[in-house]
Amino acid sequence: MKSPKFINLTIFIIFFGTALFEAFQKQSWIEVTLYFALGVLFLWADSRRT
């Protein structure tokens, strides 16, 4: 059974979005940069796999 395409995006938004939001609240700019870079990397890798 094939999963819908929006499942990966939903998981990405839930995990990376909340981690990025928390890092912004703490004003931990190293964490913000890390989560943003990891998020972009995972989105890029996911789009290439298709």
The arithmetic mean of pLDDT across residues 3-31, rounded, is: 81
Q: Count of residues for the chain?
A: 50
What's this model's pTM, rounded to 2 decimal places? Answer: 0.65
pLDDT band at 2 (very low <50, low <70, confident <90, very high): low
- pLDDT at position 20 is 81
pLDDT digits (tens, 9 = 90+) for 18-39: 888 888 899 888 988 888 888 8
If phi over 0 gives left and psi between -120 and 50 gives alpha, with beta otherwise, what is residue 8? alpha
**pLDDT, averaged across the chain:** 79
pLDDT band at 1 (very low <50, low <70, confident <90, very high): low
